[in-house]
A and B are shown apart, each in its own frame.
Chain A
Amino acid sequence: MNTMVLLENVSKRFGSTVALQEVNIEIFAGEFLTFLGPSGCGKTTCLRLISGFERPSTGRVILDGRDVTGDPPYLRDVNQVFQTYALFPHLSVRDNIAFGLRMKKLPLAETRERVDKIIEVVSLDGLADRKPSQLSGGQKQRVALARAVVCQPKVLLLDEPLSALDAKLRHQMRLELKSLQKRLGITFVFVTHDQEEALAMSDRIVVMNLGRVEQIGGATEIYHRPATRFVASFIGDTNIVEAEVLGTDDGKILCRLEGGLQVLVRARNAPPDGKILVSLRPEKIRIHKTRPPGENVFRATVISEVFKGAVDDLTLRTEGGLELGVLDTNEGSDEVEFDVGEDAWCRIHPDDVIILGG
């Protein structure tokens, strides 16, 4: 895969605040990459370094093989969809979309042709002569998208573009964005704080926190194999438990969790020593009325239960006093219903106990 964008040892300081620390990110041509993290994590700064609205304090920004670190935004082959759309209120939909091509001094006929085509692609037919103030939120969103895409940028930057839409439209736009990206083959760089959005659309996700990259990987990898405590807790729900390594045996590590429970963990990398943190996803802990066969089986008491339709959200306490959140799917059989105060058998597969670094 070709590299489209490279952030090389990039740091960014605003006064005494450090927004980014020694960040290295490689973005491949044609992929849908998402920067995910809480506000202030540096994800928007990364986007603005690629667009050229910010310059790094140290490090380099490489776009399609060329060092653009010092280039102003108007010399970069990237376009952005702004969070507030930033449509020009004095121009019609058509003139908004044509703006970039007009700045590039494209022949009028070609401009008209490309604008007409993109208006069709994003289903804005019939609205071309309206002013932005006469459009709904979803329509503005499409105009912002069309205005950026019509320039055929090497990279399309999207700064939380769905956050101003209502829930239903947001879900619909997710699918549309993804399919548009597939059709156009443009590299999409998306910024969001919404993990669901990131998991649904991205080829790869960069999880950021406090100006650092916590993990880069595909949606399933980030969810099932979180690298750090932050990633495990930011994406989905999880139980994070302190543990102590007791020994290694046949590719498995024996750990004692807080509360005294002993579990086997699949050793993926070099086995760690001493105190560690492990993540146990609530849906990975299976609960049974009778003792199931296999490893990592333990007893626990149900101390609370919340019915959530598709799942029961349970809290269990082990004999050693460790409290664990468990999701029990409601597959329709009454026999696996648990009441508060009832004892249950729990089991977690050694593959599903994740040792966290950092």
Chain B
Amino acid sequence: MGYLLPGSSTPTSATPRRTPGPAGWLLLSPLLLWLGLFVVVPTLLLVILSFCSRDPDAPGRVLYAFTLENYVRAFQPTYLKILGSSLLYAFLTAILCLVMGYPVAYFIGRAPEGRRNTLLALVMIPFWTSFLIRTYAWVTILSNQGFLNGILQASGLTSAPVDFMYTPGAVVLGLVYNYLPFMILPIYGSVEKLDQSLIEAAYDLGARPWSALVEVILPLTRPGIVAGFFLVFVPSIAMFAITTLMGGGAVPTVGEVIQKQFTAARHAPFGAALGTLLLLLFFAGLWATKPRREPEPID
């Protein structure tokens, strides 16, 4: 019964689908070549590698003999737990980015047109610094001898340093801080396109501000929310630099495990298997959230 319920489908544009002509393919060819050489081929190599095994006599050497042992190992509880917590941290990161980023994106998107670019620049400027430096900045704030503990102890609120670093909280904080703009930008794009008269129509029809938000503004900016969510969630799952710095090995994530297989553990095939599984997970996620096509407009 669809009666009185907000629609669950996303708005689609009325433009018909187009395929590129000969000139279009020519213009696309550099990109296609790039993607083929540096994305498709390496990914296929990774998949092949994941079915190989490690030379027991010379760790680090790959034996090109078919085996499923890497996948069997990947489904052991230890790794499933790490994958689970990685997904949880990534999900928390995306939710926190959404909660903090939406109001900012809305404010910028509804600001006077001349001021929007300035406000967007203010969001972007901090991210012109390397993310490593920004993450180290957090380390200096949160560590036991850090800024925050200094204030807490000087003011007498705590007597001993509080362990902020190397906790799941620190990992999520680092992720949220780094990925926030990836949430703000797509939502801003949706909010900016939102017709002011639609919001006015909601108020005019008796919607209080909260109802206008839930019934009209959120559904109509859904494409931005979905895009932002995935732009934050997906890279957060396998991010290893931030989790290594902020988690310090005490909070293992799947990204860290994969990275270690290719370096310290010298077990590239197992790392490749974990990577392939993540890839499959992303495809499943993409398929599950794919926007469904609506019937064409009839005039």
Contacts and interface: CB of A to CB of B under 8 A. Distances in A.
A108 B298 contact: no
A74 B294 contact: no
Contact of A108 (B4, B195, B220): B4
A100 interface: yes
B298 A134 contact: yes
A102 B4 contact: yes
A205 B4 CA distance: 39
B297 A100 contact: no
Contact of A53 (B198, B200, B208, B219): B200
B59 to A, nearest CB: 57
A131 B10 CA distance: 11
A86 B202 CA distance: 9
B2 interface: yes
A74 B207 contact: yes
Contacts of A98: 3-4
Nearest to A84: B197
B193 to A, nearest CB: 11
A112 B3 contact: yes
Interface residue tally on B, bucketed by range = 20 to 34
Interface in B79-123: none
A96 to B, nearest CB: 9
A294 to B, nearest CB: 56
A90 interface: yes
Contacts of B9: 90
B204 A73 contact: yes
B234 interface: no
A104 B295 CA distance: 31
Contacts of B25: none
B6 A74 contact: no
Interface in A67-119: 72-74, 78-80, 82-84, 86-92, 94-95, 98-100, 102-104, 108, 111-112
Most chain A beta-carbon contacts within 10 A, residue among B12, B211, B297: B297
B299 interface: yes
B189 interface: no
Given A74-B206, A133-B297, A134-B297, A86 B201 contact: yes
A278 interface: no
Contacts of A134: 295, 297-299
B161 interface: no
Nearest to B196: A86
B204 A79 contact: yes
A108 B207 CA distance: 17
B216 A88 contact: yes
B201 A82 contact: yes
A45 interface: no
A27 interface: no
Contacts of A151: 205-206
A108 B1 CA distance: 13
A86 B197 contact: yes
A144 B257 CA distance: 57
A95 B6 contact: yes
Nearest to B198: A86
A90 B195 CA distance: 13
Most chain A beta-carbon contacts within 10 A, residue among B10, B204, B219: B204
Interface string B199-235: 0111111111001000110011000000000000000
B14 interface: yes
A136 interface: yes
Contacts of A103: 205-208, 211, 215
Contacts of B197: 82-84, 86
Interface in A273-302: none
B208 A74 contact: yes
Interface residue tally on A, bucketed by range = 35 or more
Most chain B beta-carbon contacts within 10 A, residue among A79, A84, A99: A99
B204 A94 contact: no
B60 interface: no
A51 interface: yes
B11 interface: yes
B157 interface: no
A9 B204 CA distance: 24
Given A89-B220, A103-B206, A134-B295, A95 B4 contact: yes
A60 interface: no
Contacts of B264: none
A147 interface: yes
A112 B1 CA distance: 13
Contact of A73 (B2, B11, B195, B200): B200
B5 A95 contact: yes
Contacts of B195: 84, 86
Interface string B1-44: 01111110111101000000000000000000000000000000
B4 A86 contact: no
A108 B5 CA distance: 12
Contact of A79 (B205, B207, B211, B294): B205
Interface string A211-248: 00000000000000000000000000000000000000
Interface of B: 2-7, 9-12, 14, 195, 197-198, 200-208, 211, 215-216, 219-220, 294-295, 297-299
Interface of A: 51-53, 72-74, 78-80, 82-84, 86-92, 94-95, 98-100, 102-104, 108, 111-112, 129-131, 133-136, 147-148, 151
Given A87-B201, A90-B9, A148-B205, 18 more contacts: A79-B205, A80-B201, A83-B197, A88-B220, A89-B220, A90-B10, A91-B6, A92-B2, A95-B2, A99-B202, A99-B205, A99-B215, A112-B3, A130-B298, A135-B297, A147-B205, A148-B204, A151-B206
29 contacts: A53-B200, A73-B200, A73-B203, A74-B204, A74-B205, A74-B206, A80-B204, A82-B200, A83-B197, A86-B197, A86-B198, A88-B201, A88-B216, A90-B219, A90-B220, A92-B7, A95-B5, A99-B207, A99-B215, A100-B206, A129-B2, A130-B298, A131-B294, A133-B12, A133-B297, A134-B295, A134-B299, A135-B297, A151-B205
